[in-house]
Amino acid sequence: MSNTIIGLAETCYKGVVIIRGYATSKSLVQYSKKYSSYQRDKTPEHVQAIKDYIDTKDTVFMPEIILSYNYYNLCSDNPRDFFEIFRGHPIVRDNVNGMIFRNLKHKSSEDKIFKIELPKSEDKKPFSRIDGNHRLEAMSELEQELKVPYCIVLFCSQSDNEDDSEIKKREMSIFHNLNAKGKILSTEEQYKGLFNIFDNEELKAIAPELIPVKEFAEKRCDGKLDKLQSFLCSTYPGLKLFFANPLEVLIEIFKITNDSGKNISDIELHDLLSFLNLVFESHKSLIKSKSVAILYAYAFFARKLDKCAKKKVKAFTRWLCSSQIYHTEKIDAESLIKIFTHVYDNINNKIFVAMPFDPNLDFVFKIIKRR
């Protein structure tokens, strides 16, 4: 494992000094630690998804790992300004962490390339993780060693206290700004570029779930994304409330109707949507549905379009209208399917009753039927 990293230092924004460069994934994993007060807990599913992405994709790129380093131990009697420390001193040591900083070109203030010798002791972890903890956790479980871009944000505490509260507050502020204030792309926004640029063969390695949607669009609206929404709304007007994000909706319908890894065909999807369109147009109250999860649940129950499926859809419609669940905005399809399946199974429980033929006992039979 390489015990050195090289980076370019610069003062950015309003006085924040950073070092940017590339290092092996093992080095970044080995010499950094997670600060549990603000870092998210490790999520095994998220770590596995990152590992799968690295292992299976031809084009792998992720944002740089953001770390922090308290350079208090470089100061000693030196000034606290990071660059001033190296004026006339090309080599400065952090004896506490066992690190050596070398300014490779130190004759002018513009020479800001640094070679950093990392600790020889594997117990030393001089860097704190600000952003990229899950990526590093995933890389730690991979056999291959990767070259990874990093950014080290430099702070200088007022004492030798390793957990200087002011530094941790500044780290937390950066973490919060990176993870809480950024606008997350919607599913629709994520898929638009893929839909327009990649062909079906290329999508197999990037977003295979988009392939059946693209094939449907090619057959129904010349494969044009800008025509897809208008086609869906004009062909299935009873469902148009759900087609604000056509790619997202069709992807979810293909997923929820998938049978043992086999997608429904273009014709089957058309037949399914046509059937559901009739259901919604026949029950105007459903058109007021506030959650697309209602449509997904309908697609699940109606996916085979046989006699049994149509019977279940009819019962589902009665249940929705009587319970008025369609007014609920925050409900997911999986929960909706589980709830109604439980209700439906209870409704359809049948019992055999042996009783004598006696008109005087008709009232007993009527009570049993009501229950």
28 shares its domain with 66: yes
Residue 142 sits in the same domain as residue 285 = no
In terms of domains, do 158 and 209 share one? no
Residue at which a domain ends, from 152, 180, 208: 180
114 and 199 share a domain? no
Average pLDDT of every residue of the chain:
85
The predicted structure's pLDDT at residue 45: 87
Residues 241, 144, single domain; the answer is no
Give the distance, in angstroms, between the CA of residue 171 and the centroid of all CA atoms in the same chain: 23
pLDDT at 366: 67
CA nearest 326: which of 316, 313, 334, 312?
Answer: 316
What confidence score (pLDDT) does residue 364 get? 60
Q: How many domains does the chain have?
A: 2
Higher pLDDT, 22 or 321: 22
Kindly tell me if the per-residue pLDDT of 199 is higher than 70.
yes
- Shared domain for 33 and 161, answered yes or no, is yes
Among 138, 126, 168, 150, which residue's Cα sits nearest to residue 24?
150
pLDDT band at 53 (very low <50, low <70, confident <90, very high): confident
Write down the pTM of the prediction: 0.66
pLDDT digits (tens, 9 = 90+) for 136-191: 999 999 988 899 999 999 998 876 665 677 788 888 888 888 877 777 778 888 88
Residue 363 counted as domain residue = no
Per-residue pLDDT, 353: 58
Q: Are strands 65-70 and 127-131 parallel, antiparallel or unpaired?
A: antiparallel
Helices (H), the chain: 25-30, 44-56, 72-75, 82-85, 133-140, 165-180, 187-197, 200-206, 211-221, 225-235, 246-257, 266-282, 293-302, 307-323, 333-347, 362-370
Q: Which residues, including other chains, have CB under 8 Å from residue 73's CB and lie 6 or more apart? A: 94, 95, 96, 97, 160
More confident residue, 317 or 158: 317
Q: Are residues 121 and 202 in the same domain?
A: no
Q: What is the pLDDT of residues 264-302, one digit of tens each?
A: 999 999 999 999 999 999 988 887 787 899 999 999 999
**Token duo for residue 143:** 């056999």
Do 111 and 24 have their domain in common?
Answer: yes
Task: Give the model confidence (pLDDT) of 201-217 as tens digits.
Answer: 888 878 888 999 999 99
Residues 90-129 have pLDDT tens digits of 899 999 999 999 988 755 556 689 999 999 888 899 999 9
Range of the domain at 271: 193-344
In angstroms, the CA 75 to CA 159 distance is 11
C-alpha distances out from residue 10 to 76, 82, 153, 266, 335, Å: 22, 10, 10, 55, 51
Mean pLDDT of 82-95: 86
Classify residue 226: in a domain, yes or no.
Answer: yes
Q: Please tell me whether residues 85 and 219 are part of one structural domain.
A: no
Residues in the chain: 371
At residue 365, does pLDDT exceed 70?
no
**Is 94 inside any structural domain?**
yes
Instruction: Evaluate whether residue 365 is within a structural domain.
Output: no
- pLDDT > 90? residue 232: yes
Q: Do 171 and 233 sit in the same domain of this protein?
A: no
